[in-house]
Chain A
């Protein structure tokens, strides 16, 4: 029975190495999920900024009075997203309907709206993708960290009971190491929650903007159809 408490490495690495393997596993998992969350956050932030700029530029061009045929010819060869993708999809359907003298205009309006709807869904999916990861980490991170803490405190109490020594110097390192797991959990969960809220609001805003454009464009095409057939 050595009465003297062993010298304890209180550095973060020391805390990590002393931890029980369950706590280690929790810590590593939380750090990886934090890395993943931040990767998603950075990606999404860039994606939304790009999408917003893209929409602004397209709207400017679209309402500048340029002919739709010309715009279509410019954009068609490129790979497009968001609003230009809506425009291309609708225009392609329109073109096909008048190609080769075929006059399949009876339900053209319906078909264009369907195509627009599908494209909007696809775009929103692209914007929303992987946001659920943030939500999951945000809500489950603290619990996972807490689990590590509870486990760590449990094992440290077991070792206290085994060593029959209750001085604070013996109790403290185990508890510090266990609380470290909760700290990492919060470290991962807080940004995930904040950015999840911010990004879901952003997605809703961009989706309503796409829907607004789709309605306007289908109104324009509907007028064109009526003029041509009328």
Chain B
């Protein structure tokens, strides 16, 4: 009787195992999902011509801009746009004079609508800088304007108060309005604070120069039309050598982020890109990790300059890369 169970059980297990071995003979591999990566192919000269953008900037412009207050005189022609820059102290003298007539129209409006008050505000700003250099006449002008400006607002709240106080619950917003308006003009025509409005920046300063004046540094360029930089043959060769050697380079574990480590290595190459003699370490450091770091760089030079894997460099420039001195620095991550 126990035989029945044993036999049945054994047979069943053998059958299940046989099925499993056949059925699970090969694991079904996952469908390989290819992630598409946008790649832009750049020639070495294009790559070297890339301008550095500002990482924090959100703005992408058609042409790259670097924050600059001053136009580089060599390349750029004087542009009519420049005089509009208010920071340019010398150029802005004439424009403020025609402006004073403009504040006049707001006066009749004040009786009707509150918006005018903002208008006089921006105008006083350009004027104080003038005060430093320009004749005193402008000074009295802003004063009467501002004196007039606060008064009409005071009148307006009064008729309003009668209705809202009865209808609306909040008394607070209304008292504030008259307070605010007088406050704002005050700093402007307070003669003691005039000094604070003067451009205190060193007149002899050298503003950052660029081909084009711009307030911001752009994040990048929507079209790759960077201003062309001079690409020298040797800098291109340097990039080619660095790119190939860095691919063979395994920096030692633990040196990540130690960007102050630098191993300068000099070595000679044959015309085929094969190492001649021994690479020579030209730098030293007190950093305890330096030895391992330098050894890894030496290994990289060795492993990438073998006959089986030579450095691929343009043979016509052999005289430029016959003797190579390269600084190994951990790449920025």
Q: Which residues of A contact B (CB under 8 A)?
A: 10-13, 31, 34-44, 46-47
Q: Is the CB of A38 within 8 A of B26?
A: no
A43 in contact with B10 given A11-B21, A12-B20 (CB within 8 Å) = no
Q: What is the bound-complex CA distance between A41 and B21, given in angstroms?
A: 25
**Does the CB pair B21–A39 fall under 8 Å?**
no
User: Who on chain B is nearest to A47 by CB?
Assistant: B1
Q: Which residues does B use to contact A, with CB under 8 Å?
A: 1-2, 4-6, 8-10, 12-13, 17, 20-21, 24-27
Contacts of A47 in B (CB 8 A): 1
Residues from chain A with a CB closer than 8 A to the CB of B20 are 12
Given contacts A13-B21, A31-B13, contact A42 B5 (CB under 8 A): yes
CA distance A46 to B24 in the complex (A): 33
Please name all residues of chain A whose beta carbon is closer than 8 Å to the beta carbon of B17 when the two chains form the complex: 12, 31
- Chain A nearest CB from B26 CB (Å) reads 6
Contacts of A36 in B (CB 8 A): 9
Contact A11 B5 (CB under 8 A): no
Separation of A37 and B6 alpha carbons in the complex (Å) = 9
Q: Which 6 A-B pairs have the closest CB atoms?
A: A43-B5, A38-B9, A42-B5, A10-B27, A39-B5, A39-B9
With A31-B13, A38-B13 as contacts: A43 and B1 at CB distance below 8 Å: yes
State the CA gap A154–B175 with chains docked (Å): 78
Q: Give the distance in Å from the alpha carbon of A31 to the alpha carbon of B16 in the complex.
A: 11
Chain A residues near B8 (CB, 8 Å)?
A: 38-39, 42
Nearest Cβ distance between residue A71 and chain B, in whole angstroms?
Answer: 26
B-chain residues with CB within 8 Å of residue A39 when the two chains form the complex: 2, 5-6, 8-10
Please report the C-alpha to C-alpha distance between residue A13 and residue B26 in the assembled complex, in whole angstroms. Answer: 10
Chain B contact residues, majority secondary structure: helix
Task: Determine how close the nearest CB of chain B comes to the CB of A72; give it in whole angstroms.
Answer: 26
Which residues on A sit within 8 Å (CB–CB) of B9? 35-39, 41-42
Would you give the shortest CB distance from A104 to chain B, in whole angstroms?
39
Partner of B13, one of A12, A34, A41, A44: A34
* Shortest CB distance A47–B (Å): 8
Say yes or no: A38 contacts B5, CB within 8 Å. yes
A12, B10: Cβ atoms under 8 Å? no
Distance, CA A128 to CA B40, complexed state (A)? 77
Beyond A11-B21, A34-B13, A35-B13, whether A46 also contacts B26 by CB under 8 A is no
List of B residues within 8 angstroms of A46 by Cβ = 1, 4-5
Q: What A residues does B5 contact at CB under 8 A?
A: 38-44, 46
A53 → B minimal CB distance (Å): 15
Q: How many angstroms from the CA of A201 to the CA of B24 in the assembled complex?
A: 38
CB distance from B242 to the nearest CB of A (A): 24
CA distance A44 to B1 in the complex (A): 10
12 A-B pairs within 8 Å (CB atoms) are namely A10-B27, A11-B24, A12-B24, A39-B9, A41-B9, A42-B4, A42-B5, A43-B1, A43-B2, A43-B5, A46-B5, A47-B1
> Chain B residues with Cβ under 8 A from A13's Cβ?
21
Given A37-B9, A38-B5, A42-B8, 18 other A-B contacts at CB below 8 A?
A: A10-B26, A10-B27, A11-B24, A12-B21, A31-B13, A35-B6, A35-B9, A36-B9, A38-B9, A38-B12, A38-B13, A39-B2, A39-B10, A41-B9, A42-B5, A43-B1, A43-B5, A46-B1
Give the CA-CA distance A195 to B6 in the complex, in Å: 16
A187 (CB) vs chain B CBs: closest residue:
B16
Q: Which residues of chain A are near B26, meaning CB under 8 Å?
A: 10-11
Cα A27 to Cα B5 with chains together (Å)? 22
Residue of B nearest to A10 (CB): B27
- CA–CA, A38 to B5, complex, Å? 7
The residues of A that contact B6 with a CB separation of less than 8 Å are 35, 39
B4 near A43: Cβ-Cβ < 8 Å: yes
Cα separation A40 to B3 with both chains bound (whole Å): 10
Question: With the chains together, A38 CA to B26 CA distance in Å?
Answer: 28
- Distance, CA A180 to CA B251, complexed state (A): 39
| Chain A residues in 8 Å Cβ range of B4 | 42-43, 46
CB distance from B24 to the nearest CB of A (A): 5
Q: How far is the CA of A31 from the CA of B13 in the complex (A)?
A: 8
- Name which residue of chain B comes closest to A31, CB basis: B13
B contact residues around A43 at 8 Å (CB): 1-2, 4-5
Q: How far is the CA of A57 from the CA of B260 in the complex (A)?
A: 96
Q: B21 — which chain A residues lie within 8 A by C-beta?
A: 11-13
**A34 contact set on B, CB distance < 8 A:** 13
In angstroms, Cα B9 to Cα A162, docked, is: 43
Q: Do residues B25 and A11 form an inter-chain contact, with CB atoms below 8 A? A: yes
Closest approach, in angstroms, between the C-beta of B25 and any C-beta of chain A? 4
Chain A residue, CB-CB nearest to B29: A10
